[in-house]
Structure 1
Amino acid sequence: MKDLEIAATARHRVRLFLRRVSDPHPGSGGLRLFRERAAQRADEGMPLHLLLRSHALGMYVLWQALREAAEPGEEGALIELVDLLLQSHHSLVGAVAQTYMDERSALEAEQRERLRSLVRGFLDGTLEPGQVLLEELGLGGPALVLAVALEPADGPDGGQPDPLSPVTVRRRMRRIQTVLDQTFGTELLFLFDAGAGRAVVPRDCEPPDDLARRLSRACGVGVRIAAARAAAPAAVPEASRTAAEILRIARVCGLPPGVHGLDDVLLEFHLSRRIAALLDPVAARPELLRTLRTYLAQQQDRRLTAVLLGLHPNTVDNRLARLAELTGLNLGAPRDTALAIAALLLHDTGQGDEGHGSA
């Protein structure tokens, strides 16, 4: 690099300087090579201060050459040349630093997005927790999984809250990430979207009792947080789903914002899972779910259901019979009808696995 790239860059710098001596107003095209080299150094991970120091050293060597070449009586010319040298260095340093920072920002954004995709796939269970993935994520043993959500602030006069802008939501979630990193003393795996997030603490520990208060103080709004343990990395996706479900149940049950664990909503958690599981046998039959949803919404009017779905009433009857056969729900019984409504509500609000990808 020193004998080829750096030497070529130095020669180019000397040529540009000599060209500027004869033409005080050259075009900006001469900086292209420096920008390309700066982008390469950024991609290689060279620290910016070393890159700028090398350019400063090059300027000093050029100044030494001018000083040694100056004859007595040429002091005025030497001052003029040094003035041009300093002016060109100003432009050069600006171009190099800007290109370096732009390239580093782009690289870091790519790395963050790649890590975000890996974490999302891992938490959602779509990526197998192989050894390479776990090493990249920094997971090797028990972990604590957190689900976090912002509580909507009260609107004017206690009415509906005004929706927050995406920028405001992102800013608050980044503050949450900062507080979590500081609390657990490490940079956590953290995903957030639309005011909700999931974080993985790479060790078995208890969240502090005042964690929700710290997060609320940082965000300026109430924060609800749920915790679930994973005995091993392979159990993290299930713990993520459990934490998200604890958070949802705590909100539905009207618990105040704070740190929630499974013990706080144990009965409701198991009931909701049992009710939601009623529809598991037809999870892969969207036509049966659609028919059930429409049938219940129309107060069990089979003819109106058929009209809305564009089906013959006998087809509706056949689908409902098949649904009853697969789930054991008798939609003619009030209790089973209530269970079907509850199961659909849980399904539609994200009780199943598909509802946990929003964090």
Structure 2
Amino acid sequence: MTGHNSAAAESLAARLLADLPGLAATVTGHLAERLPVYRRLPAEELDGDVHRIVKQIIGGFARGLRTGRPPEPAQLAAIRASAAKRAEEGLPIDAVLSAYHLGAQACVDALLPETDPGEMAVVHRSLLDYLCVAVSEVAAGYLAERQALVGEDNTQNQTMLAALLSGADPEVSARRTGIRLPTAYFVVSAAIDPHPDELDPGVDAAVAGRRKTRRVRAELDRRCAHPALARVSADEGLLLVPCPDEPDPWAWLRALVEALGKAAGAPVLACATHCAPADVPAAARLAAELREVATAFHRPPGLHRLDDLLLEHQLTRPGPARRQLAALLTPLLDKPDLLPTLRLYLATNLNRRQTAGRLQVHPNTIDYRIRRIAELTSLNPTRHDDLFKLTAALAAHAAEGSP
């Protein structure tokens, strides 16, 4: 420690130590008053372990002020252990660091009366030295514990996710992992587009993808009151999101998907269904099927439910009818302009001008292509019966994965 003046320091340290119990009580009170997260701690924790470490830290500072030496290893270990405990309790690190600054301010306030500027300069220099060492220990202890907790939580979450997807008894799995089951889950299958950095040849695409994945996971944790079970990669995700206690849970989920897209910095298309924990396997299969359908039909990013894809989902189920429907479009496959035109013409509700604008061609070109589609398939999109059959054929064609 620097700037040590033995005579002044001895006197100042004695004053702090003489009032150590009262000063520790004052600081503990300040924590509860000024930092809401400390106020939410149980009273026995605040008056017990927290008060005890506050007393140790003030005492350690006073002894360092008197001797001019840095904190002893035992005191540094106590600081690190206390920070680890705060991390385990879930207190944010900014609040933990603020607690040390409140304690420092209390020491200054206690010594300020009857202390001349020269002596206060000694206090400030010693206090800064002490805080520099203490804050480093706080950060090290806190982060080490958080990393351990995150690793443990992730292992338990992945174990629980795998158990639910396999159809294992949810209650038994919950007891083994220590995870509290919600009444119901949203089961979400998501497709995540590349972030611009992933497409930049000057950027490592794998690194950019990992950054995107971390942002998505962090946003998911931030938005969910209860932990979600998630398997997320750079291009897709399977999420089991506990249904929230909201007036409109589906509106909440829609907002969550939008937030995940913003966090990813890329469009996110998500398909979801709702189920009890025991029904997760079937719900996960349905969500994946819906995502395949939504992708095949070029649905926009955002949330899609079974209600939004009823016709497309039903028409794309395997079987001889699907193959026969898809075959209706075979005459168009060697004409590269016709199938995209038909798809867009139906998507714009038969609006030839809007279709032409999207394809950047003249509306008369659209009229010509529609006539060619009718000639080749014997199905005219402007006739109601043929329109329904063409819509079904497009769905079947997409599901069959035709070129």
TM-score normalised by the chain length of structure 1:
0.52
Q: Deviations over 1:174-232 (max 9, x none)?
A: 565678789999874433124111123434965788998886676455543333342x2
Say if 1:27 and 1:4 are closer, same or farther in 2 by CA, change over 3 A: closer
Please give the secondary structure, in 1, of the residue aligned with 2:179: helix
Residue in 2 that maps onto 1:228: 273
| Paired residues of 1:216 and 1:222 also in contact (CA < 8 A) | yes
Segments of structure 1 that go 5 or more residues without pairing to the other structure are: 155-159, 273-359
Please give the secondary structure, in 1, of the residue aligned with 2:298: coil
Question: Match of 2:132, as an amino acid?
Answer: S
Q: 1:53 aligns with which of 87, 99, 107?
A: 99
Q: 1:166 aligns with which of 180, 201, 206?
A: 206
| Paired residues of 1:63 and 1:82 also in contact (CA < 8 A) | no
The alpha carbon displacement at 1:57 in A equals 3.1
Residue in 2 that maps onto 1:128: 169
Question: Identity of paired residues, percent?
Answer: 21
Residue in 2 that maps onto 1:351: none
Residue in 1 that maps onto 2:298: 256
The alpha carbon displacement at 1:140 in A equals 1.1
Q: Deviations over 1:131-162 (max 9, x none)?
A: 77299354214x431101124699xxxxx998
Q: Deviations over 1:44-88 (max 9, x none)?
A: 4556536643664366347736866x6xxxx47524532433333
Please report the RMSD computed on the Cα atoms of aligned residues, expressed in angstroms: 4.8
Residue 237 in 1 paired to residue 270 in 2? no
Question: For 2:168 and 2:180, how far apart are their aligned partners in 1?
Answer: 12
| Paired residues of 1:152 and 1:161 also in contact (CA < 8 A) | no
Residue 193 in 1 paired to residue 227 in 2? no
| Paired residues of 1:247 and 1:260 also in contact (CA < 8 A) | no
Map 1:1-359 to 2 at 5 A: 1=48, 6-20=54-68, 31-45=76-90, 49=95, 52-53=98-99, 56-57=102-103, 60-61=106-107, 64=110, 75=116, 78-99=119-140, 101-103=142-144, 105-110=146-151, 112-125=153-166, 127-130=168-171, 133=174, 136-141=179-184, 143-151=185-193, 165-173=205-213, 188-203=228-243, 206=250, 219=264, 221-230=266-275, 232-248=276-292, 251=295, 254-258=296-300, 259=304, 261=306, 263=310, 264-271=312-319
Question: For 1:7 and 1:234, how far apart are their aligned partners in 2?
Answer: 51
| Paired residues of 2:192 and 2:235 also in contact (CA < 8 A) | yes
Say if 1:236 and 1:18 are closer, same or farther in 2 by CA, change over 3 A: same
Say if 1:85 and 1:165 are closer, same or farther in 2 by CA, change over 3 A: same
| Paired residues of 1:41 and 1:100 also in contact (CA < 8 A) | no
Q: Deviations over 1:291-339 (max 9, x none)?
A: xxxxxxxxxxxxxxxxxxxxxxxxxxxxxxxxxxxxxxxxxxxxxxxxx
The alpha carbon displacement at 1:239 in A equals 0.8
Question: For 1:108 and 1:176, how far apart are their aligned partners in 2?
Answer: 19
Question: For 1:216 and 1:180, how far apart are their aligned partners in 2?
Answer: 11
Question: Match of 1:136, as an amino acid?
Answer: I
Question: Match of 1:247, as an amino acid?
Answer: R
| Paired residues of 1:43 and 1:103 also in contact (CA < 8 A) | no
Segments of structure 2 that go 5 or more residues without pairing to the other structure are: 1-47, 321-403
Say if 1:107 and 1:137 are closer, same or farther in 2 by CA, change over 3 A: same
TM-score normalised by the chain length of structure 2:
0.47
Say if 1:188 and 1:13 are closer, same or farther in 2 by CA, change over 3 A: same
Question: Match of 1:237, as an amino acid?
Answer: P
The alpha carbon displacement at 1:130 in A equals 0.4
Q: Deviations over 1:62-119 (max 9, x none)?
A: 7736866x6xxxx475245324333334314532542354245325523541353144
| Paired residues of 1:226 and 1:244 also in contact (CA < 8 A) | yes
Question: For 2:159 and 2:180, how far apart are their aligned partners in 1?
Answer: 8
Question: For 2:79 and 2:230, how far apart are their aligned partners in 1?
Answer: 37
Say if 1:164 and 1:271 are closer, same or farther in 2 by CA, change over 3 A: farther
Question: Match of 2:298, as an amino acid?
Answer: P
Please give the secondary structure, in 2, of the residue aligned with 1:43: helix
| Paired residues of 1:140 and 1:233 also in contact (CA < 8 A) | yes
Say if 1:11 and 1:128 are closer, same or farther in 2 by CA, change over 3 A: same
Question: For 2:54 and 2:76, how far apart are their aligned partners in 1?
Answer: 15
| Paired residues of 2:194 and 2:266 also in contact (CA < 8 A) | yes
Residue in 1 that maps onto 2:395: none
